[in-house]
Protein backbone atom coordinates (compact mmCIF):
# COMPACT_ATOMS: atom_id res chain seq x y z
CA UNK A 1 0.00 0.00 0.00
CA UNK A 2 2.84 2.30 0.84
CA UNK A 3 4.57 1.65 -2.50
CA UNK A 4 1.41 2.66 -4.39
CA UNK A 5 1.24 5.92 -2.43
CA UNK A 6 4.91 6.66 -3.16
CA UNK A 7 4.36 5.94 -6.83
CA UNK A 8 1.43 8.39 -6.97
CA UNK A 9 3.52 11.13 -5.31
CA UNK A 10 6.41 10.50 -7.72
CA UNK A 11 4.10 10.72 -10.74
CA UNK A 12 2.60 13.98 -9.46
CA UNK A 13 6.06 15.49 -8.99
CA UNK A 14 7.08 14.53 -12.51
CA UNK A 15 3.95 16.15 -13.93
CA UNK A 16 4.61 19.41 -12.06
CA UNK A 17 8.25 19.43 -13.13
CA UNK A 18 7.24 19.09 -16.80
CA UNK A 19 4.80 21.95 -16.48
CA UNK A 20 7.50 24.35 -15.31
CA UNK A 21 10.24 23.37 -17.76
CA UNK A 22 11.31 25.99 -20.31
CA UNK A 23 10.10 25.52 -23.85
CA UNK A 24 12.65 24.15 -26.31
CA UNK A 25 11.17 26.10 -29.23
CA UNK A 26 12.97 29.34 -30.13
CA UNK A 27 11.07 32.59 -29.57
CA UNK A 28 9.23 33.77 -32.65
CA UNK A 29 8.09 37.37 -32.89
CA UNK A 30 4.61 37.05 -34.35
CA UNK A 31 3.48 40.44 -35.56
CA UNK A 32 0.13 39.10 -36.76
CA UNK A 33 -1.02 38.58 -33.15
CA UNK A 34 -0.71 41.99 -31.47
CA UNK A 35 -2.48 40.77 -28.35
CA UNK A 36 0.32 38.29 -27.50
CA UNK A 37 2.94 39.11 -24.87
CA UNK A 38 5.59 38.98 -27.56
CA UNK A 39 8.16 41.24 -25.85
CA UNK A 40 8.76 42.25 -22.25
CA UNK A 41 7.01 45.56 -21.92
CA UNK A 42 6.22 47.81 -18.98
CA UNK A 43 3.01 49.21 -20.33
CA UNK A 44 1.09 48.68 -17.09
CA UNK A 45 2.75 51.73 -15.57
CA UNK A 46 1.90 53.79 -18.64
CA UNK A 47 -1.80 53.00 -18.31
CA UNK A 48 -1.95 52.98 -14.51
CA UNK A 49 -4.32 55.96 -14.52
CA UNK A 50 -7.08 53.72 -15.87
CA UNK A 51 -8.76 51.45 -13.34
CA UNK A 52 -10.96 49.71 -15.92
CA UNK A 53 -11.35 49.42 -19.64
CA UNK A 54 -14.54 51.46 -19.75
CA UNK A 55 -15.01 55.14 -19.15
CA UNK A 56 -17.24 56.46 -16.40
CA UNK A 57 -20.48 57.94 -17.73
CA UNK A 58 -21.31 61.53 -16.76
CA UNK A 59 -23.57 62.00 -13.74
CA UNK A 60 -27.27 62.45 -14.36
CA UNK A 61 -28.79 65.88 -14.09
CA UNK A 62 -31.05 66.11 -11.04
CA UNK A 63 -34.76 65.89 -11.84
CA UNK A 64 -35.70 68.97 -9.84
CA UNK A 65 -33.06 71.11 -11.57
CA UNK A 66 -34.70 71.01 -15.00
CA UNK A 67 -38.17 72.23 -15.91
CA UNK A 68 -37.92 71.90 -19.69
CA UNK A 69 -36.45 69.61 -22.35
CA UNK A 70 -32.78 70.22 -23.16
CA UNK A 71 -33.40 70.14 -26.94
CA UNK A 72 -36.90 71.40 -27.74
CA UNK A 73 -37.33 73.41 -24.51
CA UNK A 74 -40.89 72.07 -23.99
CA UNK A 75 -42.09 72.41 -20.42
CA UNK A 76 -42.40 69.22 -18.38
CA UNK A 77 -45.85 68.47 -16.98
CA UNK A 78 -48.14 65.57 -16.26
CA UNK A 79 -48.12 64.42 -19.89
CA UNK A 80 -44.54 65.42 -20.87
CA UNK A 81 -42.31 63.23 -18.73
CA UNK A 82 -38.60 63.56 -18.04
CA UNK A 83 -36.13 61.07 -19.54
CA UNK A 84 -32.38 60.92 -18.90
CA UNK A 85 -29.98 60.23 -21.75
CA UNK A 86 -27.66 57.41 -20.65
CA UNK A 87 -24.81 58.90 -22.67
CA UNK A 88 -24.72 62.59 -21.68
CA UNK A 89 -26.89 62.46 -18.54
CA UNK A 90 -29.09 65.41 -19.56
CA UNK A 91 -32.89 65.48 -19.33
CA UNK A 92 -35.10 65.31 -22.43
CA UNK A 93 -38.70 64.68 -23.36
CA UNK A 94 -39.76 61.38 -24.94
CA UNK A 95 -39.64 62.87 -28.43
CA UNK A 96 -36.01 64.03 -28.09
CA UNK A 97 -34.78 60.92 -26.23
CA UNK A 98 -36.65 58.15 -28.02
CA UNK A 99 -33.61 56.46 -29.58
CA UNK A 100 -31.90 53.32 -28.29
CA UNK A 101 -28.25 52.40 -28.95
CA UNK A 102 -25.34 50.60 -27.31
CA UNK A 103 -22.64 52.72 -25.67
CA UNK A 104 -19.51 50.60 -25.84
CA UNK A 105 -17.21 53.14 -24.20
CA UNK A 106 -19.33 53.04 -21.02
CA UNK A 107 -19.59 49.23 -21.04
CA UNK A 108 -23.29 49.31 -22.04
CA UNK A 109 -23.52 46.33 -24.41
CA UNK A 110 -27.32 46.43 -24.58
CA UNK A 111 -29.27 49.27 -26.25
CA UNK A 112 -30.19 52.03 -23.80
CA UNK A 113 -32.17 55.27 -24.09
CA UNK A 114 -30.18 58.12 -25.60
CA UNK A 115 -30.94 61.52 -27.06
CA UNK A 116 -30.80 62.11 -30.82
CA UNK A 117 -27.38 63.75 -30.73
CA UNK A 118 -25.78 61.01 -28.61
CA UNK A 119 -27.46 58.36 -30.76
CA UNK A 120 -25.60 59.54 -33.87
CA UNK A 121 -22.37 59.90 -31.88
CA UNK A 122 -22.66 56.42 -30.36
CA UNK A 123 -23.12 54.76 -33.76
CA UNK A 124 -19.80 56.25 -34.92
CA UNK A 125 -17.96 55.56 -31.66
CA UNK A 126 -19.09 51.93 -31.46
CA UNK A 127 -17.36 51.14 -34.75
CA UNK A 128 -14.18 52.72 -33.39
CA UNK A 129 -14.27 50.98 -30.02
CA UNK A 130 -15.10 47.56 -31.46
CA UNK A 131 -13.08 47.46 -34.67
CA UNK A 132 -10.12 49.81 -34.42
CA UNK A 133 -9.33 50.57 -30.76
CA UNK A 134 -8.24 46.99 -29.89
CA UNK A 135 -5.73 47.08 -32.76
CA UNK A 136 -4.36 50.48 -31.75
CA UNK A 137 -4.18 49.59 -28.05
CA UNK A 138 -2.42 46.26 -28.52
CA UNK A 139 0.26 47.83 -30.68
CA UNK A 140 2.15 46.58 -33.72
CA UNK A 141 5.76 46.36 -34.81
CA UNK A 142 6.83 48.89 -37.48
CA UNK A 143 9.99 50.06 -39.12
CA UNK A 144 10.47 53.78 -38.39
CA UNK A 145 12.50 56.06 -40.60
CA UNK A 146 14.70 58.59 -38.83
CA UNK A 147 17.06 61.31 -40.00
CA UNK A 148 20.06 58.99 -39.87
CA UNK A 149 18.84 55.42 -39.65
CA UNK A 150 15.83 53.14 -39.61
CA UNK A 151 14.92 51.02 -36.63
CA UNK A 152 12.25 48.60 -35.44
CA UNK A 153 9.73 50.19 -33.09
CA UNK A 154 6.47 49.20 -31.53
CA UNK A 155 3.66 51.72 -31.87
CA UNK A 156 0.60 51.69 -29.62
CA UNK A 157 -2.20 53.98 -28.48
CA UNK A 158 -3.11 55.11 -24.95
CA UNK A 159 -6.80 56.12 -25.08
CA UNK A 160 -6.74 57.45 -21.50
CA UNK A 161 -4.19 60.10 -22.51
CA UNK A 162 -5.15 60.35 -26.21
CA UNK A 163 -1.55 59.82 -27.32
CA UNK A 164 0.34 57.41 -29.52
CA UNK A 165 3.61 56.10 -28.14
CA UNK A 166 6.46 54.25 -29.80
CA UNK A 167 9.71 52.77 -28.58
CA UNK A 168 12.64 50.98 -30.20
CA UNK A 169 12.62 47.20 -29.95
CA UNK A 170 15.62 44.86 -30.05
CA UNK A 171 14.26 41.84 -31.88
CA UNK A 172 17.09 39.60 -30.69
CA UNK A 173 16.70 40.27 -26.96
CA UNK A 174 12.98 41.06 -27.18
CA UNK A 175 13.54 44.15 -25.03
CA UNK A 176 12.70 47.82 -25.36
CA UNK A 177 15.59 50.19 -25.97
CA UNK A 178 15.85 53.95 -25.51
CA UNK A 179 13.12 56.26 -24.32
CA UNK A 180 9.43 56.25 -25.18
CA UNK A 181 8.38 58.89 -27.71
CA UNK A 182 4.90 60.39 -27.85
CA UNK A 183 2.63 61.66 -30.62
CA UNK A 184 -0.46 63.51 -29.34
CA UNK A 185 -3.69 62.57 -31.11
CA UNK A 186 -4.90 66.18 -31.05
CA UNK A 187 -1.69 67.28 -32.79
CA UNK A 188 -2.15 64.95 -35.80
CA UNK A 189 -3.44 66.77 -38.89
CA UNK A 190 -3.03 64.05 -41.55
CA UNK A 191 -2.27 60.37 -42.10
CA UNK A 192 -1.21 59.60 -45.65
CA UNK A 193 0.42 56.88 -47.69
CA UNK A 194 3.99 57.55 -48.70
CA UNK A 195 4.57 58.81 -52.22
CA UNK A 196 4.98 56.31 -55.02
CA UNK A 197 8.67 55.89 -55.80
CA UNK A 198 9.83 55.97 -52.19
CA UNK A 199 11.24 52.88 -50.53
CA UNK A 200 8.55 50.40 -49.44
CA UNK A 201 5.82 52.69 -50.74
CA UNK A 202 3.27 49.86 -50.66
CA UNK A 203 3.50 49.42 -46.86
CA UNK A 204 4.58 52.87 -45.61
CA UNK A 205 2.51 55.73 -44.22
CA UNK A 206 3.33 59.15 -42.82
CA UNK A 207 1.85 61.00 -39.83
CA UNK A 208 2.03 64.80 -39.92
CA UNK A 209 1.46 67.01 -36.86
CA UNK A 210 0.69 70.68 -36.31
CA UNK A 211 4.32 71.27 -35.39
CA UNK A 212 5.22 70.30 -39.00
CA UNK A 213 6.78 67.07 -37.75
CA UNK A 214 6.56 63.94 -39.88
CA UNK A 215 6.73 60.34 -38.69
CA UNK A 216 7.31 57.66 -41.32
CA UNK A 217 6.34 54.09 -40.44
CA UNK A 218 6.50 50.91 -42.53
CA UNK A 219 4.07 48.14 -41.67
CA UNK A 220 4.54 44.42 -42.16
CA UNK A 221 2.14 44.44 -45.10
CA UNK A 222 -0.45 46.61 -46.81
CA UNK A 223 -3.28 45.15 -44.70
CA UNK A 224 -1.67 46.26 -41.44
CA UNK A 225 -0.96 49.67 -42.96
CA UNK A 226 -4.59 50.07 -44.01
CA UNK A 227 -5.84 49.02 -40.56
CA UNK A 228 -3.63 51.55 -38.80
CA UNK A 229 -4.29 54.40 -41.22
CA UNK A 230 -8.05 53.85 -40.92
CA UNK A 231 -7.77 53.42 -37.15
CA UNK A 232 -5.82 56.65 -36.65
CA UNK A 233 -8.20 58.56 -38.91
CA UNK A 234 -11.29 57.21 -37.13
CA UNK A 235 -9.68 58.00 -33.76
CA UNK A 236 -9.19 61.60 -34.93
CA UNK A 237 -12.79 61.80 -36.17
CA UNK A 238 -14.18 60.42 -32.91
CA UNK A 239 -12.00 62.80 -30.91
CA UNK A 240 -13.28 65.79 -32.93
CA UNK A 241 -16.88 64.62 -32.51
CA UNK A 242 -16.41 64.22 -28.75
CA UNK A 243 -14.90 67.70 -28.44
CA UNK A 244 -17.69 69.20 -30.54
CA UNK A 245 -20.37 67.36 -28.58
CA UNK A 246 -18.79 68.50 -25.32
CA UNK A 247 -18.97 72.13 -26.42
CA UNK A 248 -22.57 71.70 -27.54
CA UNK A 249 -23.44 69.93 -24.30
CA UNK A 250 -22.00 72.75 -22.24
CA UNK A 251 -23.86 75.29 -24.38
CA UNK A 252 -27.12 73.35 -23.88
CA UNK A 253 -26.51 73.16 -20.14
CA UNK A 254 -25.99 76.93 -20.01
CA UNK A 255 -29.11 77.47 -22.12
CA UNK A 256 -31.21 75.17 -19.95
CA UNK A 257 -29.83 76.74 -16.78
CA UNK A 258 -30.64 80.20 -18.15
CA UNK A 259 -34.17 79.08 -19.03
CA UNK A 260 -34.62 77.57 -15.56
CA UNK A 261 -33.34 80.74 -13.90
CA UNK A 262 -35.63 82.85 -16.08
CA UNK A 263 -38.64 80.73 -15.19
CA UNK A 264 -37.77 80.78 -11.50
CA UNK A 265 -37.35 84.54 -11.71
CA UNK A 266 -40.77 84.86 -13.35
CA UNK A 267 -42.28 82.59 -10.71
CA UNK A 268 -40.68 84.67 -7.95
CA UNK A 269 -41.97 87.90 -9.55
CA UNK A 270 -45.44 86.40 -9.84
CA UNK A 271 -45.29 85.29 -6.22
CA UNK A 272 -44.23 88.77 -5.13
CA UNK A 273 -47.17 90.27 -7.01
CA UNK A 274 -49.54 87.82 -5.35
CA UNK A 275 -48.11 88.63 -1.92
CA UNK A 276 -48.39 92.36 -2.61
CA UNK A 277 -51.98 91.97 -3.83
CA UNK A 278 -52.84 89.84 -0.80
CA UNK A 279 -51.36 92.42 1.60
CA UNK A 280 -53.24 95.23 -0.16
CA UNK A 281 -56.54 93.32 0.02
CA UNK A 282 -55.85 92.59 3.68
CA UNK A 283 -55.26 96.26 4.44
CA UNK A 284 -58.51 97.20 2.64
CA UNK A 285 -60.42 94.53 4.56
CA UNK A 286 -59.00 95.76 7.87
CA UNK A 287 -59.96 99.35 6.98
CA UNK A 288 -63.51 98.24 6.18
CA UNK A 289 -63.77 96.42 9.48
CA UNK A 290 -62.53 99.45 11.37
CA UNK A 291 -65.11 101.58 9.58
CA UNK A 292 -67.89 99.20 10.55
CA UNK A 293 -66.78 99.22 14.18
CA UNK A 294 -66.72 103.05 14.29
CA UNK A 295 -70.18 103.21 12.80
CA UNK A 296 -71.46 100.59 15.24
CA UNK A 297 -70.14 102.34 18.35
CA UNK A 298 -70.56 105.91 17.04
CA UNK A 299 -66.81 106.53 17.16
CA UNK A 300 -65.44 109.43 15.21
CA UNK A 301 -62.19 109.28 13.32
CA UNK A 302 -60.77 112.05 15.51
CA UNK A 303 -61.64 110.24 18.74
CA UNK A 304 -60.20 107.01 17.48
CA UNK A 305 -56.99 108.69 16.57
Residues 6+ apart with CB under 8 A from 66: 76, 82, 90, 91, 256, 260
Model confidence over 254-304: pLDDT tens digits? 887 888 888 888 888 888 888 988 898 889 998 888 888 888 888 766 544
Percent of the chain, pLDDT > 90? 34
Q: Which residue has the higher pLDDT, 275 or 243?
A: 275
Query: What is the full DSSP assignment across 63-111?
Result: GGG-SB-TTT-PBP-SSS--EE-TTT--EE-TTTT-EEEEEGGGTEEEE
- pLDDT mean over 115-130: 89
pTM: 0.59
Among 114-128, 203-217, 290-304, the minimum mean pLDDT is found in 290-304
Model confidence over 6-22: pLDDT tens digits? 665 666 555 544 443 43
Model confidence over 34-64: pLDDT tens digits? 334 444 444 443 443 333 467 888 889 888 8
Query: What is the per-residue pLDDT for 233?
Result: 92
Q: How far apart are CA 152 and CA 168, in angstroms?
A: 6
**Count, residues in the chain:** 305
Q: Which residue has the higher pLDDT, 35 or 72?
A: 72
Domains (ranges, CATH) in the chain?
63-132+238-259 (3.30.40.10), 139-220 (2.30.29.30)
Query: What is the per-residue pLDDT for 289?
Result: 87
Query: What is the per-residue pLDDT for 102?
Result: 94
Q: Which of 112, 107, 93, 106 is nearest to 58 (CA)?
A: 106
Query: What is the per-residue pLDDT for 136?
Result: 94
Query: What is the per-residue pLDDT for 3?
Result: 59
Amino acid sequence: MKSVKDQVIANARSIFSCCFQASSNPYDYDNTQPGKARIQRSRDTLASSSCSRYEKPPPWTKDDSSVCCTTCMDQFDLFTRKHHCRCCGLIFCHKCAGQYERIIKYGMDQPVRVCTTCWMQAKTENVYYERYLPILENGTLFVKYGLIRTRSVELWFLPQANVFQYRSVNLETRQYEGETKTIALDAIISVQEVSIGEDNADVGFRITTRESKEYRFDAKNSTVRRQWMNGIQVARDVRCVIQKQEKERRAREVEVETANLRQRSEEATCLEKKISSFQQDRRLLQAQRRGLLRAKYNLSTTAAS
